[in-house]
Amino acid sequence: MKYETLMEIDLEKLKNNAKLLSKSYSDYDKKIANLKDNAYGMGFKIVNTLVNSGINYILVGPIKDALEIRKYNGEVPILVNYYVAEEEVYDAINNNITLTISDLEYLRSITCLNIKDDLKLQILIDNGSNKMGIKNNLDLKEAIKIIDESEHLVLEGLYTDLTTIGVEDEYYYHSINTFYQIISNYLDRDLIIHLNEPIMYHKKLNYVNGIRFDLSLIGIEENINDDIFTNMRIKNVQKKYGDLEFPNIDLQLIFTITSEVMCTGKVSKGDLVGRNYIAREDTDIAVIPIGHKDGITKAINYVGINNFKRDILADDIDHLIVAVDGGVREKDKVYIVNEERGIYDFLTLLKTNRYYLMSILNRNLTKKYINDEEKSDSYL
């Protein structure tokens, strides 16, 4: 008998989130969806929902993801953020995909190719966070000179990846200033200048015309603590740099995770349950087919079965063992994440951040898309 843990993705909620964000940040020409990591586990089937709801540009990691998106949508502009091998450059040209230039050596290698059609490029700037990107004015000047002198290379934009939201610290402002200083000589060009989600919390910069949304699209915003020490740090930042702009948008988590009871049993006081839990009393138990490989551990404390919280006693790579009562039966539905058990609770209990959680939470789960305008209840 098959037992399944299911991620159900509501495309109507996704549409509403995209529309709300697009409307709330309408002063940006480019509303860019950052769909790295298979759209953070949602799958590229969501692309057309986004495009039909205000998103007009897509960013991905590897070029294989851009080519996968082209199976769903042949028109939306796509920027590849990762390194693209020389033999794959022609795939970018043939599929109208923009490549990222993060250093001069890579750019020079592209100029050595026998390119006979236009290739669009964007330049990634290192804002001082010491990730990838062009690091200074001289290197950017050289990069743009190479592009301008190449017959088929087209400079489409400049961008950077902010690594802090600048709500509790000043690194955001240092990063913004570094970015501006490096690109300021080229702001009179018709270029896309775009930044990622930290700019949601700050006043719009007049030279920036693109905003990149990632996990906010699926309903997971930055989780800012509401305690006295955090509030003091926020006030200090506001005193120095001006008021922050916390978005007042009612975003909805677009997915739920449900499972089902594989089997039930009884254990006696003193019995070993799973790998390391010793039963403190005679207990009814149920086994659930979700575990470490899915990003779920006993640290989440409980699951929901038959409208009751069921404490997790033990976990394993692919199982949870929970305490139940005699009324729980095989195939009963188990609620892992839903409207009542939101994702922010998981972030706190698992002591992690939203990006790491979403990178592992969805790997092995069957995905079911609901409220799909094209075809209802489709699986992936």
Q: What is the pLDDT of residue 91?
A: 96
Q: Give the sign of the dihedral formed by CA 160, CA 163, CA 166, CA 169.
A: negative
Q: Which residue has the tokens 């794959």?
A: 88
Q: Which of 76, 72, 126 is nearest to 96 (CA)?
A: 76
pLDDT: which is higher, 356 or 63: 63
Both 59 and 205 in one domain: the answer is: yes
Which of 14-23, 217-226, 299-308 shows the lowest mean pLDDT across its residues? 217-226
Q: Mind listing the pLDDT tens digit for each residue in 341-380?
A: 778 888 888 888 888 888 877 677 889 999 986 654 565 5
Instruction: Report the b/e string of 35-73 with b at 16+ CB within 10 A.
Output: bbbbbbbbbbbbbbbbbebbbebbbbbebebbbebbeee
Q: Is 51 contained in some domain? A: yes
- φ, ψ for residue 137, nearest 5 deg: -60, -40
Tell me if 344 is assigned to some domain.
Answer: yes
Tens digits of residue pLDDT in 227-259? 888 889 989 999 888 888 888 888 999 999 999
Please tell me the predicted confidence (pLDDT) of residue 222.
83
Domain extent, residue 356, equals 255-379
pLDDT for res 375: 57
48-77 average pLDDT score = 97
Same domain, 95 and 234: yes
Q: Which pLDDT does position 172 carry in this prediction?
A: 94
Question: CA-CA distance, 324 to 321, in Å (whole number)?
Answer: 9
Is 91 part of a structural domain of the chain? yes
Shared domain check, 175 and 26: yes
Residues 218, 277, single domain; the answer is: no
Instruction: Note whether 261 and 285 are same-domain residues.
Output: yes
**pLDDT category, 1, cuts 50, 70, 90?**
low
- Given 206, 241, 276, the domain boundary residue is 241
Residues 153 and 109: their CA atoms lie apart, in Å, by 12
Is position 167 within any domain?
A: yes
In a domain, 291, yes or no: yes
What is the CATH classification number for the domain harbouring 51? Answer: 3.20.20.10
125 and 224 co-located in one domain: yes
For residue 86, is pLDDT > 60? yes
Question: Does 342 lie in the same domain as 287?
Answer: yes
- Is residue 232 domain-shared with residue 100, that is, in the same domain? yes
The number of folded domains in the chain is: 2
Instruction: Let me know if residue 1 belongs to a domain.
Output: no
Phi/psi-derived region of residue 219, left when phi > 0, alpha when psi is between -120 and 50, beta in every other case: left
Average pLDDT along the chain: 92
| Residues 48 and 160 placed together within one structural domain of the fold | yes
Q: Retrieve residue 245's tokens.
A: 């702009």
Question: Which residue, 214, 241, 268, sits at the end of a domain?
Answer: 241
Structure tokens at 90: 């022609």
At 352, which CATH number?
Answer: 2.40.37.10
Same domain, 67 and 170: yes
Angstrom CA distances, 277 to 98, 267, 280, 281, 316, stand at 53, 11, 9, 12, 12
Q: Which of 219, 241, 263 is the last residue in one of the domains?
A: 241
Contact 214, 40 (CB under 8 A): yes
pLDDT at residue 362 in the model? 65
Encoded tokens for 334: 């188990």
Q: Is residue 246 part of a domain?
A: no
For 99-123, b/e burial (b = at least 16 CB within 10 A) is bbbbbeeebeebeeeebeeebbbbb
Residues 16 and 162 in one domain: yes
Averaged over 204-219, what is the pLDDT?
Answer: 96
pLDDT at 356: 84
What pLDDT sits at residue 374? 60
Q: Which amino acid is at 164?
A: T
User: What's residue 3's pLDDT?
Assistant: 80
Q: Is residue 235 part of a domain?
A: yes
Question: Strands of 302-305's sheet, edge to edge?
Answer: 263-267, 283-288, 320-324, 308-315, 302-305, 333-337, 255-260, 6-10, 366-370, 378-379
Q: Is the domain of 22 the same as that of 140?
A: yes
pLDDT for res 324 = 94
pLDDT of residue 197: 95
